[in-house]
Chain A
Amino acid sequence: GAGVSQSPSNKVTEKGKDVELRCDPISGHTALYWYRQRLGQGLEFLIYFQGNSAPDKSGLPSDRFSAERTGESVSTLTIQRTQQEDSAVYLCASSLGAGAIGDNYGYTFGSGTRLTVV
């Protein structure tokens, strides 16, 4: 598609329920990233997929969080047993991916999923 598409745009869930967030990156973008942004805060890295390489999961805050990606297309972020502190905007981004060190390429973000845990 023309941009990064995320769904749903808004999600309200009860504490303890599982949620699944979806990201459809720009076609041809090999790299895909998930970030979290709490209200009034900066972007917090969660996970990064690059082609067929093992994902960098170093930012996932707990084992309740997991993410999958099918090839170089759609990714899903799953949060199990949601807690109120999980409330945030979850942003997905994609990029052309790792070029040479020092390449200046940027991300394109989706408009995010606003998750509210009540």
Chain B
Amino acid sequence: RKEVEQDPGPFNVPEGATVAFNCTYSNSASQSFFWYRQDCRKEPKLLMSVYSSGNEDGRFTAQLNRASQYISLLIRDSKLSDSATYLCVVNRGGTSYGKLTFGQGTILTVHP
């Protein structure tokens, strides 16, 4: 089983739609959680951290469920510019707590 698992998609949605991505992680000792965004042939960029209480940044909402080892990202009012691959990222904690483990990514395409 992979440490971080995501539905690879692709998700194809119209502009203005709401879309949700899910991610599960296997190591219960994981301490920090993130969503990254990667555009085609570009490096990943931090989208947002995920906090235990859930957090929102504009149209983006992230949720964490430690009991279920589950992370989600909700995008409201999708824009064409949201088209990208979304990476679920987990810091495993412990002695390697600086090292992040990346999911395979979920591909999102927003169409007119």
Q: A residues touching B (Cβ–Cβ < 8 Å)? A: 31, 33, 35, 41-43, 45, 48, 50, 56, 91, 95, 97-98, 101-112
Contact with A along B92-112 (1 / 0, CB 8 A): 010011111111110000000
Whether A31 and B45, one on each chain, are in contact in the complex, defined by CB atoms closer than 8 angstroms, is: no
Number of interface residues of B (CB under 8 A): 25
B44 interface contact, C-beta 8 A = yes
Given known pairs A48-B99, A56-B96, A56-B99, the reply for A104 and B51 (CB within 8 Å) is yes
Given known pairs A42-B105, A43-B102, A95-B98, the reply for A103 and B32 (CB within 8 Å) is yes
Q: Bound state CA distance, A101 and B93, in angstroms?
A: 7
Determine the chain A residues whose CB is within 8 A of the CB of B96 once the complex forms.
48, 56
Whether A106 and B43, one on each chain, are in contact in the complex, defined by CB atoms closer than 8 angstroms, is: no
Q: Bound state CA distance, A31 and B93, in angstroms?
A: 15
Q: Bound state CA distance, A48 and B96, in angstroms?
A: 9
Which residue on chain B has the smallest CB distance to residue A39?
Answer: B41
Whether A104 and B102, one on each chain, are in contact in the complex, defined by CB atoms closer than 8 angstroms, is: no
Q: Bound state CA distance, A30 and B99, in angstroms?
A: 13
27 A-B interface contacts by CB (under 8 A): A33-B98, A33-B99, A35-B102, A41-B104, A42-B87, A42-B103, A42-B104, A48-B96, A48-B98, A48-B99, A91-B44, A95-B98, A98-B97, A101-B31, A102-B31, A102-B93, A103-B32, A104-B32, A104-B33, A104-B50, A105-B32, A107-B100, A109-B43, A109-B45, A110-B43, A111-B43, A112-B43
Contact of B49 among A33, A95, A106, A109 (CB under 8 A): A106
